[in-house]
Chains A and B, each alone.
Chain A
Amino acid sequence: MGVSIVSREQTQTEIEKNNEQENKDVDSQKSSSGLVIFWKELLNDKLALVSLIFFTLVTLFVFGVSLILDQDQVVRVDLFAIYEPPSSEFWLGTDYGGRDVFGQLIIGTRNSLSIGFLVTLISGVIGVVFGVVSGYFGGHVDNFLMRIVDFFMVLPFFMLVIVFVSVAPDYNVWTFSLIMAAFLWMGIARLIRSKALQEKELDYAQASRTLGSSHFSIIFKQVLPNITSLVVVTMTLNLAANIGIESGLSFLGFGFPEDTPSLGTLLSYTTNPTTLEERWWIWLPAAILILLLMLAVRNVGEALKRAADARQRRA
């Protein structure tokens, strides 16, 4: 008995060793994995690398600082310190309620980034499922689903979101993200659909079907993993756009409520012309930060896009 166990263990380790050996051989032949390709592309594109570092630092900073910073304290009104210009006490001055602009900038960035991620994720999931189903089945299903996409594409998106926000019964960050995502999934759906149309004609999908795999498992276990790179690229580029759209809505006053400031909230103070004209410290930092964040995410997205397409790679 004891002997047999030992011998089994021995064979086990031998097999593992063999496997390792084989893996090494395979590794040296096959092309590098997605992550490695992306990393090489990034190292080659200094602008994208700097952008990624900048974005990571800003994200870590705002999430880290807002752990110690109390949101309630930042948005508390202090009537003795209204419209203070930048000073050593208030690095970026104060707004009409005497609230510290720098603190609002940090919390606003955190909220803008969070909602950006959330909306990108929700709209991405809707878009990917819609697109991959439409492309995989093709024919009448595709025709019908794409007419829905066409319809959503021409809707006056901004106006409808504003109306929905104003009628939403239980309005909070989640309903806001859902409303935004409901009108932002069409682009990714179209893109994924056209890719899925090509993918399902390939031999592996056909063979899998012949072997009796269900549509569900072909779509989600086989076709979807093969188009992951496209999904990642699109979602990154969408993240940049969504940060901008959210701040636009908050700027108009139809985004976050004022006690949860976003970067757009700071911009919305410019509805007071005197603030726009004379108190630049309230809104200009937020405007520049939105621009920089969007550019940074886009730079990373463009590098990812090149990495995903072998013909465009620089590395």
Chain B
Amino acid sequence: MWKFIVRRLLITTPQIVLLSAIVFILAQLMPGDALTGLIDPTVKQERLEELRVQLGLDNPWYIQYRDWVAGIVQGDFGRSFIYKMDVTELIGQRIVNTIWLSVVSVFFIYAIGLPLGIISGRYNDRLIDQLITGYTYIGFATPIFIFGLIAVWIFGFVLGWFPTGGSVAPGLDPGTLEYYLSKIHHVLLPALSIALIGTVGTVQYLRSEIVDTKQRDFIITARAKGASESRVYNRHIFRNSILPIAAFFGYEIVNLINGTVLIEQIFSYPGMGNLFLESIVRRDTTVAITLVLISGIGAILGALLSDIILSMVDPRIRIK
């Protein structure tokens, strides 16, 4: 297993280097640089040139790339010229919201997906299974943002059950009970939208795993020994079917990163995706580029996590 993990880690390194190179090239292509925010009539052109030299913006690309990477390793991502603050600080405020949204979404993905998958697999081809399969079929074809739009329209505007924007009601002191309740109230609808569409894969996979496992010899043996039906399901079938689901956990991160951009926009939720779109529109290059880099590294590490879990639960992968 360790051999596999080390080899997998060796692949991760070039992935991150390649990602950083792509992001760096994109940053060069994007209009504006660290000094764009300073351009105004009171600042002389000569002074700007001086600052450019000072910041090393006239260096050849490989030196700029080296300096950029060196800065990132030390946690210095540059400054946002719109918010006039360090990118690290700006993203720090927003990332908390996105992580909170992601955690609640992942919770719902499993809280909805596991029971539905188990019921669907256990009672396959009965009415309840057909209903669940119908749901996954439609859910699979539904784009997350259309579901989100209709959800915010019906439950946010028409019925008024949920807030339609923000991450917390204004005017509440952090730390109070109302503050936390308001945070939960604000996150529920976006998280449920992500989860109801995102869990479809889990349900389908778990169902086919269980239907598959049901017919294995060791299940027949367990039944022959006289194990009760609930014991067969809980101890034998479920345990075997749940492992690959656990391994997909890391890939959920990759999906979430793509999904939150759309969902945060629909629910005007102040997270990373929202900040990303705003910084693209307002040409705040340093912020946009840093967000791409962070999301990319997050996704690469998520995939790494999945493969490591998979190698732990499935011995066949280790041998390869």
Contacts and interface: CB of A to CB of B under 8 A. Distances in A.
Interface of A: 147, 150-151, 153-160, 162-164, 166-167, 240, 244-245, 247-248, 251-254, 267, 270-271, 273, 276-277, 280, 283-284, 287, 290-291, 294-295, 298
Nearest to B158: A277
Interface in B17-56: 18-19, 22, 26, 29-31
Given A158-B258, A163-B292, A252-B261, A291 B11 contact: no
Contact of B11 (A150, A244, A247, A254): A150
Contacts of A273: 157, 164-165
Contact of A156 (B29, B149, B299): B299
A295 B141 CA distance: 6
Nearest to A147: B11
Contacts of A151: 15, 18
A277 B303 CA distance: 39
B292 A159 contact: yes
Given A291-B146, A295-B138, A159 B15 contact: no
B18 A240 contact: no
Contact of B26 (A150, A167, A254, A284): A167
A160 B29 CA distance: 13
B138 A158 contact: no
B276 interface: yes
A190 to B, nearest CB: 14
28 contacts: A147-B11, A153-B254, A154-B296, A156-B257, A156-B258, A156-B292, A159-B258, A162-B280, A163-B280, A167-B29, A167-B30, A244-B141, A248-B143, A248-B145, A273-B157, A273-B164, A276-B157, A277-B157, A277-B158, A287-B149, A287-B150, A290-B143, A291-B141, A291-B146, A294-B141, A294-B142, A295-B138, A298-B140
Nearest to B276: A159
A267 B143 CA distance: 13
A164 to B, nearest CB: 8
Interface in B142-183: 142-146, 149-150, 152-153, 157-158, 164-165
Nearest to A148: B18
Interface residues on B, range: 35 or more
Interface string B105-120: 0000000000000000
Sort A-B residue pairs by CB-CB distance and give the 9 closest, nearest first: A244-B143, A156-B295, A277-B157, A167-B29, A154-B299, A158-B258, A154-B303, A298-B141, A294-B141
Contacts of A240: 141
Contacts of A284: 153
Given A159-B292, A166-B30, A276-B157, A154 B152 contact: no
B26 A163 contact: yes
A232 B157 CA distance: 42
A277 B292 CA distance: 32
Nearest to B19: A155
Given A154-B15, A252-B262, A267 B299 contact: no
A187 to B, nearest CB: 13
B300 interface: yes
Interface in B264-298: 265-266, 276-277, 280-281, 288-289, 291-292, 295-296
A167 B31 CA distance: 8
B302 interface: yes
Contacts of B145: 248, 251, 267
B146 A290 contact: yes
A209 to B, nearest CB: 27
A270 B281 CA distance: 17
B189 to A, nearest CB: 14
A218 to B, nearest CB: 27
B66 to A, nearest CB: 22
Contacts of A291: 141-143, 146
